[in-house]
Chain A
């Protein structure tokens, strides 16, 4: 083994240590709830908490609606921009980057000013209305990631030629979009969807200020009042992120044709 190789392994080991140590420490601490021995009591406590189930269920529901809405909005938009208005791409890219520089607190205060109970569109008057606002907020927050994932996936296929081929075979635009384009950018949609999911499930500011029973505020509440449950939640959240990443990989590999062609 030459010096260069040893050095490479050394760097890998340091990086792994830097990454794994905090996790190990967090996990170790989360197991110390029972005095003098390791146990999964903190996890049991978290998972048996009725609020955990309800807030997590609520956030997952909101996240799924966000993903569906995002896919319906972004895939046709990215497709249309690539196909018919390529000159607008820089403008669209700029717009999709705006959520990164506008804090979510600004968006929420904007919502509250525009859609409060005395406005002409009183969304905040009802739970459904506020949920709709929250989904829009999640869509806005995940827009930069979702758009980029879909746009990158579209770059790997020749959208124009596939569209023309489908048109010459008699297909109308919705058939082209859903049967010829969408399946070939599914990897990008899924990548964006998982990021959207993570954002929607973990977001604190928006649901908190809109007073929604979401997982983000629950996490903050537990963190402020309990010692062992927060690291247990952190490990659960980390495990979910890893499962998401593994799912992206599996989906990418299993996706027939388009994935294999790359």
Chain B
């Protein structure tokens, strides 16, 4: 049986239903990310696990114990907030020691544990500092140490990196993952940043309008999105429609070419066409050993993104983007040029619905 179980969890605020029948099992020590746009219900689920919101329906169990009716201070859950939430009147030591004092630990126990925690986040030398004397990244690390000090059963992270600058975000997310692996604590991480979710999670829950659209490993989510929303939300994706030539034979017509797909076509849309998705990195300007499709298109935009150059083509009225590595020796195509895009038919995904 899983460690953290969410069964048919629902939540409404008045007449607005923000979480619809959410089901998920999380194993002990697993790192799960809730990914989705603002207002999709990901934070509401986290807050229900923490006990700050009461589910309208369903059940949440942790370690087999039903959490219904348990107040947040009785759940033994560590939480890290987007706004750090360090107590401004307490220094780093006192902040980390707060939960331990509440739990009635002795002074030597508290000192030992706080030191361990501060060493874990490499901030032992800042024990006497107050929150306002530290950077955002340091404050969030202290918040993490404070949440972990009481050895909680579950660690909840509510967009902990959103308020930090890009470089700190990357280093801190790696640090969070490292600490989580070291302690083996079951962790739920809420984010709207797909790169964050893909880089540190064991599994990702992609949420849309209160529903879990897809639950899977980062690789499954990225390479095999199960809905159009997931396909569009996670990574950059070319979504195109294609006419069906042979439904059973999986043959479609795209860019004047017939392509035989690896995936079954599923149910066509009302217009009798299917939606196809193709990652920009799956397309190249030159044929590769595996590419079996070549489509001509007219260049309509070229964007320099640093390490890569993103080129947008017009393929019979539909837009297809592809990325090429920035090579100073090679001139990128110019707007108005006609180029041939090469890709593998097996890289083309059929998007349901």
A residues neighboring B (CB under 8 Å): 157-158, 161-162, 164-172, 175, 179-180, 183-184, 255-258, 260-261
Residue of A169, A172, A183, A255 touching B146 (CB-CB under 8 A): A169
B88 within 8 A of A: yes
Complex interface: chain A residues within 8 A of B89 (CB): 180, 183-184, 255-258
Give the contacts of B316-340 with A (CB-CB under 8 A).
none
B278 within 8 A of A: no
Complex interface: chain B residues within 8 A of A167 (CB): 51-52, 71-73
User: Which 10 A-B pairs rank lowest in CB-CB distance, beginning with the nearest?
Assistant: A261-B132, A169-B99, A165-B85, A183-B89, A168-B79, A167-B72, A258-B88, A170-B102, A257-B130, A257-B88
| Complex Cα spacing A256 to B51, Å | 31
| Complex Cα spacing A166 to B79, Å | 10
| A261-B131 contact in complex given A167-B73, A168-B147, A169-B150, C-beta closer than 8 Å | yes
B133 within 8 A of A: yes
Whether A162 pairs with B87 at a CB distance below 8 angstroms is: yes
Whether B85 pairs with A257 at a CB distance below 8 angstroms is: no
B81 within 8 A of A: yes
Whether B131 pairs with A172 at a CB distance below 8 angstroms is: no
Q: How far does the Cβ of A184 sit from chain B's closest Cβ, in whole Å?
A: 5
Whether A161 pairs with B88 at a CB distance below 8 angstroms is: no
| A257-B131 contact in complex given A167-B71, A169-B102, A169-B150, C-beta closer than 8 Å | yes
Q: Which residue of B lies closest to A173 (CB)?
A: B73
Complex interface: chain B residues within 8 A of A175 (CB): 102
Whether B130 pairs with A261 at a CB distance below 8 angstroms is: yes
Other A-B pairs beyond A165-B143, A170-B76, 16, CB < 8 Å: A158-B85, A168-B73, A168-B75, A168-B79, A170-B102, A179-B87, A180-B87, A183-B89, A184-B89, A256-B89, A257-B87, A257-B90, A257-B130, A258-B88, A260-B130, A261-B131
Residue of A164, A183, A255, A256 touching B85 (CB-CB under 8 A): A164
Whether A169 pairs with B98 at a CB distance below 8 angstroms is: yes
| A164-B52 contact in complex given A257-B89, A261-B130, C-beta closer than 8 Å | yes
| Complex Cα spacing A164 to B156, Å | 12
Q: Which residue of B lies closest to A161 (CB)?
A: B85
Q: How far does the Cβ of A181 sit from chain B's closest Cβ, in whole Å?
A: 9
B16 within 8 A of A: no
| Complex Cα spacing A166 to B72, Å | 9
| Complex Cα spacing A168 to B51, Å | 9
Q: Taking chain A's interface residues, is the majority helix, strand, or loop, or is none over half, making it mixed? A: helix
Q: How far does the Cβ of B190 sit from chain A's closest Cβ, in whole Å?
A: 14
Complex interface: chain A residues within 8 A of B244 (CB): none
Give the contacts of B78-93 with A (CB-CB under 8 A).
78-79, 81, 83, 85-91
Give the contacts of B167-214 with A (CB-CB under 8 A).
none
Q: How far does the Cβ of B73 sit from chain A's closest Cβ, in whole Å?
A: 5
| A168-B50 contact in complex given A180-B87, A257-B88, C-beta closer than 8 Å | yes
Complex interface: chain B residues within 8 A of A158 (CB): 83, 85
Complex interface: chain B residues within 8 A of A157 (CB): 88
| Complex Cα spacing A258 to B88, Å | 5
| Complex Cα spacing A161 to B72, Å | 13
| A164-B87 contact in complex given A172-B73, A175-B102, C-beta closer than 8 Å | no
Complex interface: chain A residues within 8 A of B98 (CB): 166, 169, 171
| Complex Cα spacing A167 to B91, Å | 19
Whether A165 pairs with B150 at a CB distance below 8 angstroms is: no
| Complex Cα spacing A164 to B47, Å | 10
Give the contacts of B83-118 with A (CB-CB under 8 A).
83, 85-91, 98-99, 102-103
Complex interface: chain B residues within 8 A of A169 (CB): 73, 98-99, 102, 146-147, 150
Q: How far does the Cβ of B5 sit from chain A's closest Cβ, in whole Å?
A: 20
B77 within 8 A of A: yes
A sample of 14 cross-chain residue pairs with beta-carbon separation below 8 angstroms, ordered by A number, consists of A167-B71, A168-B72, A168-B77, A169-B150, A170-B99, A170-B102, A170-B103, A171-B99, A171-B102, A180-B87, A257-B87, A257-B130, A258-B89, A261-B132
Complex interface: chain A residues within 8 A of B150 (CB): 169-170
| A164-B130 contact in complex given A172-B73, A180-B87, A257-B88, C-beta closer than 8 Å | no
Complex interface: chain A residues within 8 A of B73 (CB): 167-172
| Complex Cα spacing A151 to B71, Å | 27
Whether A260 pairs with B132 at a CB distance below 8 angstroms is: yes
| Complex Cα spacing A131 to B130, Å | 43
Q: Which residue of B lies closest to A182 (CB)?
A: B89
Complex interface: chain B residues within 8 A of A184 (CB): 87-89
| Complex Cα spacing A168 to B148, Å | 11
Whether B72 pairs with A261 at a CB distance below 8 angstroms is: no
| A164-B72 contact in complex given A158-B83, A175-B102, A183-B89, C-beta closer than 8 Å | yes
| Complex Cα spacing A255 to B89, Å | 8
Complex interface: chain B residues within 8 A of A255 (CB): 89
Q: Which residue of B lies closest to A180 (CB)?
A: B87
Complex interface: chain B residues within 8 A of A165 (CB): 79, 81, 85-87, 143
| Complex Cα spacing A165 to B152, Å | 14
Complex interface: chain A residues within 8 A of B143 (CB): 165
